[in-house]
Amino acid sequence: MKVIICGAGQVGYGIAERLAAENNDVVVIDNSPALVQRVNDTLDVKGYLGHGAHPETLDEVGARDTDMIIAVTLFDEVNMVACQVAHSLFGIPTKIARIRAQTYLEPHWQDLFSRDHMPIDVIISPEIEVGDMVLRRLGLPGAFEAVNFSDDKVTFIGVSCDEDCPITNTPLRQLTELFPDLNAIVVAASRDGKMFVPTGDDALLPGDEAYVVAASDEVERTIKIFGHTEKTAQRVIIAGGGNIGLYVARKLEESSSNRRAKIVELDRNQAIKIAETLDRTVVLNGSALNEEILKEADVTSADTLIAVTNDDQVNILSSVLARRLGCERNLCLVNNMAYMSLVRSLNIGDSINPRAITVSRILQHVRRGRIRAVHSVQNGAGEIIEAEALETSPLLGAPLRDLQLPPGIRIGAIQRKDKVIIPNGDTEIKANDRIIIFSLADSVRNVEQYFRVSLEYF
């Protein structure tokens, strides 16, 4: 696949890195010489200095035979125009744009992005994606990862196996026998930084991170089985009143009258603006690094601090300060991947990386076959994929134990109409089933083949 990426920042670089690793033909355009040089020096892609929305630039990098354009510059308007030019002048089939300004995404302006006006096939809003991830984490406080699939009927979670986890050192096969009615299955684990797909004879160890697929109504029970009994947050402090902080606060107000949120915002004008926008949320004007401000926000009795300013260092340090002052849990927004290990070493709580979330959304449209959703795990070490099984799929017609799936792949759930099935060796996949399947990075191509449309289908 030939892909043009407009924008070589954190997101553009991350997308190019993933696509190049999968042997796609990738060109990255940016008007910053330093960013273009970085791309050329470190990735197996072509970096091009230019303006991604200019026709001559797109023409020079081969837009006429390109399969996809991904516009993720810092400016919404550049991204939109790049997609319009790609459609009108070069007929690029798939156009993806990052749109950050929420006013473009209001429901009453939805016709703006129709094929008759501004033909963008996929719109990615990092603020909404990150905000939804924050809300899922708040709802499942024992999980460090939470993603919904199959119209929210299936949930993929990551759970830490602590020293007092009651199910460690027990073969997974025995866990199935101990909890025969539990609609959940361990599809992957990470040990000492290395991800693997366990067999029934493997056991989880203290310190492991387990990745589990479960029916959504069984998720809370599953987390408790792993020894996590954290309570859902009712008192929340949000550090940062930008698009993400405002989105989360608004959703918290809409979802529950019992939850209480307070926002700490440094910019006075922004603080006044969001205070006028929200109904029950208390807004404090000040720095999240100011101990007195955090105490005024009652951080000592808060359940969770959500640090979502536009400065990674402020997010990390405010989380450290909140933990020292007695806040039970932290969710920390980290853009720079280099800081992720620092967050873990400081033991301040969970982190959320917008780049990883955005890359996951884009991979859904890069993957071949009937792929409905993709979520990248541990910076690309694995993927959890939702796909539709067609009548020609090689997965049909035999029990799972006889399919001889390659190593590195585990089927976690099957949605058949309105029913969620957690499979065992006797389960057979049928046409039109929606499959939630985990794959290590090396096996993703195999997964794509299982869900591709063959010529026989027509």
pLDDT at 257: 66
Q: Is the pLDDT of residue 458 over 50?
A: no
**Predicted confidence (pLDDT) per residue in 87-114, tens digit:** 999 999 999 999 988 788 877 777 787 7
Q: On the CB side of 305, how many CA atoms lie within 13 Å of its CA? A: 33
User: What does each C-alpha distance from 443 to 340, 394, 398 come to in angstroms?
Assistant: 26, 16, 21
Q: Is the pLDDT of residue 23 over 90?
A: no
pLDDT at 185: 94
Q: Is the pLDDT of residue 127 over 90?
A: no
Categorise residue 423: left if φ over 0, alpha if ψ from -120 to 50, beta otherwise.
Answer: beta
Q: Is the pLDDT of residue 457 over 50?
A: no
Q: Which CATH topology does 235-327 take? A: Rossmann fold (3.40.50)
pLDDT at 325: 92
How far from each other are the two terminal CA atoms of the chain, in whole angstroms?
A: 23
pLDDT band at 83 (very low <50, low <70, confident <90, very high): very high
Higher pLDDT, 16 or 18: 16
pLDDT at 455: 37
Q: What is the mean pLDDT of the chain?
A: 90
Higher pLDDT, 106 or 268: 268
**Predicted confidence (pLDDT) per residue in 333-379, tens digit:** 998 877 877 887 787 778 888 888 888 888 878 777 688 899 989 88
Enter the CATH code of domain 130-225.
Answer: 3.30.70.1450
Closest CA to 288 of 239, 336, 227: 239
Determine the average pLDDT of the residues in 384-398: 89
pLDDT at 193: 86
**Predicted confidence (pLDDT) per residue in 41-77, tens digit:** 999 999 999 999 999 999 999 999 999 999 999 999 9
What's the Rg (C-alpha) of the chain? 23
Phi/psi of residue 450, each to 5°? Answer: -65, -25
| Distance, CA of 434 to CA of 422 (rounded, Å) | 12
| Distance, CA of 69 to CA of 79 (rounded, Å) | 10
Determine the average pLDDT of the residues in 110-131: 83
Give the homologous superfamily in CATH for domain 2-124. Answer: NAD(P)-binding Rossmann-like Domain (3.40.50.720)
Helical ranges in 327-380 per DSSP H: 340-346, 354-366
pLDDT band at 454 (very low <50, low <70, confident <90, very high): very low
User: What does each C-alpha distance from 35 to 1, 50, 72, 340 come to in angstroms?
Assistant: 23, 11, 14, 22
Q: Look up tokens 């389960």; give the residue.
A: 427
Buried b / exposed e across 212-245, counting CB within 10 Å, b at 16+?
bbbbbebbbebbebbbbeeeebebbbbbbbbbbb
User: What does each C-alpha distance from 176 to 57, 110, 168, 180, 185 come to in angstroms?
Assistant: 57, 47, 13, 5, 8
User: What does each C-alpha distance from 88 to 64, 75, 92, 113, 148 come to in angstroms?
Assistant: 11, 20, 9, 14, 36
pLDDT at 184: 94
pLDDT band at 453 (very low <50, low <70, confident <90, very high): low
pLDDT band at 197 (very low <50, low <70, confident <90, very high): very high
Question: For the chain, where do the domains classified as CATH 3.40.50.720 start and end?
Answer: 2-124, 235-327
User: What percent of the chain stands above pLDDT 70?
Assistant: 98
Higher pLDDT, 122 or 342: 122
Strand 382-388 to 371-377 pairing:
antiparallel
CATH of 357-457, one of 3.40.50.300, 3.40.50.261, 2.60.40.1660, 3.30.70.1450: 3.30.70.1450
| Distance, CA of 232 to CA of 11 (rounded, Å) | 31
Closest CA to 204 of 260, 234, 165: 165
| Distance, CA of 331 to CA of 317 (rounded, Å) | 12
pLDDT band at 30 (very low <50, low <70, confident <90, very high): very high
Higher pLDDT, 117 or 31: 31
Question: For the chain, where do the domains classified as CATH 3.30.70.1450 start and end?
Answer: 130-225, 357-457
